[in-house]
Amino acid sequence: MAAGLAQISVALKARGGHTLHVKIADDDRVSAANIGRQLFSPGDVGRPKADVIVERTNRFYGFSWESHVARITEATKLYADVVIAAVDSAKSRVGIEKATLDGLKENYRARTAYVLDVGNQTRFGQVVLGAFRKASGSITVDLPTVTMLYPELTDEDFNEQDQGPSCSLAEALQKQDLFINRDVTTPALHILWELLSKRRLSYHGVFTSLESLRRTPLPVDEDVWIRMNPKLKETFLRDTA
């Protein structure tokens, strides 16, 4: 995602726009299992992932991105136009959405906040772009988030695939196939590029499969959202403040 965001930033500037200012937060450190799977080298092992990615990107492009060796939780307040959740647990997804919503409520300058969720299992993945909008002192939902479309993610006893630490790349590949991360980040970046460059969206998500090499788009369509979660018929676009 970081490499793609850098490309988007350069492209926006080339079109006469502003570059992106990105903050990367991650409390994890580079392990031997990350080498070959992500763009980390043996010399990066033991260093904070956020620091390595930001230092490398800033040096390459001359950016001034920021790194934060920290975990985003429900107690955090995020003041950002777009928050990208590239995490591997339902609890983290719930926390990031709440942190985005709380930050929007307190940020008097912001009117809209987007949450781009990017997640995957072994050979399958999903991308969902949600959007909150502030108007007249209340918050409404313009695009449902991943937890709204899949409310089971908010259950405390939700059973998800174990994505815990691996001691080697070979062990890690048993949990996630080699190119599944790239398979979900490419459409996620395209959706973000469409949003930033064209200011409109026909699709706000996608479901991918390396098993069948297929991608199924998620259209901006209330009927589709209600089929995925019938409760959205009663709650969609209602005040969430």
Alpha carbons 166 and 170: distance in angstroms, whole number: 9
Alpha carbons 112 and 123: distance in angstroms, whole number: 33
* CA-based radius of gyration for the chain: 18
Q: Residue 33: how many CB atoms within 10 A of its CB? A: 20
Tell me the percentage of the chain whose pLDDT exceeds 90: 62
Q: Note the pLDDT tens digit of each residue in 215-231.
A: 999 999 999 999 999 98
Q: Note the pLDDT tens digit of each residue in 130-163.
A: 999 988 778 889 999 999 999 888 887 666 554 5
User: Residue 39's pLDDT is what?
Assistant: 85
Q: Give 118's contacts (C-beta < 8 A, 6+ positions apart).
A: 1, 84, 85, 86, 125, 127, 184, 185, 188
Alpha carbons 189 and 199: distance in angstroms, whole number: 14
The larger pLDDT score, comparing residue 66 to residue 110, is at: 66
User: Residue 206's pLDDT is what?
Assistant: 96
pLDDT band at 178, cuts 50/70/90?
Answer: confident
The larger pLDDT score, comparing residue 181 to residue 173, is at: 181
Tell me the percentage of the chain whose pLDDT exceeds 70: 89
Give the pTM: 0.88
Q: Note the pLDDT tens digit of each residue in 80-104.
A: 999 999 988 888 899 999 999 999 9
pLDDT at 168 over 50: no
pLDDT at 63 over 70: yes
* pLDDT, average across residues 49-69: 97
Q: Note the pLDDT tens digit of each residue in 6-53.
A: 999 999 999 998 899 999 999 999 999 888 888 899 999 999 999 999
